[in-house]
Structure 1
């Protein structure tokens, strides 16, 4: 299996894996804190997040040979907590059963020609819109985590005050990272992360609250493993949860695969889809929310990573983090934000590939992009873009450009948006 990396640039692959790991490392702590609101003890679920990330990265790297980090999805975890548990009143054990069932639906689709039909049916304009939308989504994530933008009193976001040390550190790190990146210095993102981390700790800007996790809690981790509860299987709440979550997992995965690795062959796409679906199912067994390809994988790709060696490197670092959980708390969001912002800007470049002279092509893509940004949800952005596409084509007298598969996908996304009335 290692023969597939015989002629690769090992240095770039490892650097890409290290950069991607640090860019997404916040998920280890943040995912556990979000799931805590669903009732899952964070000191235990942190190990579920780590272990499924190790499995996901190693599986996609060794079997798929692609430079992707597979870890618990930000946004998906919010759906797990605030929709399945808070809104639908399911227990966290029942929510894990919903996740397992939705992941099984993904696997069944991945194993059939339906997956290829879905992927092939997506118009190029929407594929470019997905990449651009993920890009602006990442930019906003970076701006928010770096505290350049904050929640405003009169608006949902506003520029932070320039006396904020977090904002100043983020801007300083952004300037340094941009300089290194534009000078084509290898490891520019990683150097920026390390420099900002050192400065933040010297100035005591790191929040010690993240250091409350301890390796000793691993002895009790088994208390949340395999706790799936299917007792609500025939209830309307369980059905709504499975349908909505399956829609999110299927199309967010397809969108991220296309957005992060454009031009994938059918064989590689199918293999990645199957691998990710199996890992999704395992995440439920391990007591955590479902996995998706992390958008932050693009930071490693920008460092030059092209193969699964990058994913394996990230997976090994996730494993090492088991023994260094408290140390992760010393990496401030301000150190991670610049790499995320720059990567998002680079992905936004795909907007140039959308035909802006044809309204029926660019309007659904534009709607997808802005909804990903301002709803802070990739899945909601996908829903609006796909739901709008056939309608705009129909109204514009271009009905023949819409395949029957796209009509079905759009209808499913319409049902997904309709389901939000109840959830």
Structure 2
């Protein structure tokens, strides 16, 4: 079924690779509920919704595309959901999930057409890199605020927190442990760092397990979106067009880029093309749509899948292993709930993931001002406005404007001009 011999691999190698990938990305079942619960969604709801969306997306990738790529709710998109869509727009989380669902449906349709690939080609590379780096900076800033390392400052908006505070010290110790593990190339460094910090927190009295460790999985609210037509109506009623577009845009870039990167590392690309690309691209769109029904932000292909590829994973059997392990993790909600309640344990993961995403800065053409400034505007505005959508909008507006001034208007794809006008209308005339 998985053509193991054709891909020069074995069952043992694939299972080992799946375990490796799972350990590097299992932090998402802790961090995602932490972030989305700040938007009002019950923790247990997000916890199980995260696992459901990961299992659906990853199994589709495994069984239909036969790739060792895992799918789960993406970092950055969850922060955008909680702090920008719900926080800045003042909408209920059910309305925000409706926007995710609609974005997932559009994503699904685009994945069945060549438009998705054309859109990726149309968007300037420097804007893509700027969006990735900006989201990374935003995520890291959230992590620093959650730990108390960075606090409010009446004179300068933000300032350094109390480094003698026991919780701040615990967060710094956790961050140091995880950074050291990363620097030593330890697989599963984020997850192991959380475990080590949890052990320290437990013996210093910061962490307790009053609700036990294991429990039957449950969804407190069942299906949050039970009527798809109502979800579409909510998007129109609250004018969440820019939100849907931002979810769509970031997910398209993030997922497609990750898929290509993992496939190249695994040697699965054929003549610079990804075989079974359409089946693979349906995985994240399905995960996003089903995840929204249960209560989580959009899914994406996880770059941590490269860890499994490095361990020898070459087929969908690796992904099946990941999906099975996610199912097993569903029975440990009380343990995850206790750990996630202490930001000192989870925030270091946000800071480090943010630093990894900042690597995109090296690909920005800083020597060309008309290329560099729009990317800079995206990167700067995301954390300062607490809005990924605003950062994307400013980048898309400034890029074609600078190109026109430089007499390079013909180099800009017509779709970018369309997006620029839409974003300008959204920023000036629509509430945000």
Question: Which TM bucket (shorter chain)?
Answer: 0.7 to 0.9
The residue number in structure 2 matching 1:319 is 327
Deviation at 1:389, TM superposition (A): 0.9
CA distance in 2: counterparts of 1:134 and 1:354, whole angstroms: 15
Deviation at 1:313, TM superposition (A): 5.1
Deviation at 1:123, TM superposition (A): 2.0
* Contact 2:134/2:383, CA 8 A, preserved across alignment: yes
1:411 aligned to 2:421? yes
The residue number in structure 1 matching 2:237 is 238
TM-score normalized by structure 1? Answer: 0.80
1:384 aligned to 2:402? no
1:291 aligned to 2:293? no
* Contact 1:115/1:270, CA 8 A, preserved across alignment: no
1:280 aligned to 2:285? no
CA distance in 2: counterparts of 1:412 and 1:311, whole angstroms: 38
96-105 or 163-172: bigger deviation: 96-105
The one of 14, 24, 39 equivalent to 2:19 is 14
After superposition, the Cα gap between the structure-2 partners of 1:275 and 1:69, relative to the gap in structure 1 and judged at 3 Å, is closer
CA distance in 2: counterparts of 1:262 and 1:416, whole angstroms: 32
Q: Deviations over 1:196-244 (max 9, x none)?
A: 11101111223879x699956838654x365227458668843723x23
* Contact 1:252/1:378, CA 8 A, preserved across alignment: no
Q: Which runs of 5+ in 2 are unaligned?
A: 264-272
* Contact 2:365/2:372, CA 8 A, preserved across alignment: yes
306-315 or 143-152: bigger deviation: 306-315
* Contact 1:276/1:292, CA 8 A, preserved across alignment: yes
The residue number in structure 2 matching 1:131 is 132
Deviation at 1:312, TM superposition (A): 4.8
After superposition, the Cα gap between the structure-2 partners of 1:82 and 1:395, relative to the gap in structure 1 and judged at 3 Å, is same
Determine helix, strand or coil for the equivalent of 2:299: strand
Deviation at 1:100, TM superposition (A): 3.5
After superposition, the Cα gap between the structure-2 partners of 1:327 and 1:192, relative to the gap in structure 1 and judged at 3 Å, is same
Deviation at 1:149, TM superposition (A): 1.7
Q: Deviations over 1:21-75 (max 9, x none)?
A: 1155221354245244xxxx65556533432233233334554525444227412
After superposition, the Cα gap between the structure-2 partners of 1:253 and 1:163, relative to the gap in structure 1 and judged at 3 Å, is same
1:25 aligned to 2:30? yes
1:70 aligned to 2:72? yes
Aligned length: 408
Q: Which runs of 5+ in 1 are unaligned?
A: none
1:218 aligned to 2:218? yes
Determine helix, strand or coil for the equivalent of 2:218: helix
Superposition CA RMSD, Å? 3.7
* Contact 2:86/2:93, CA 8 A, preserved across alignment: no
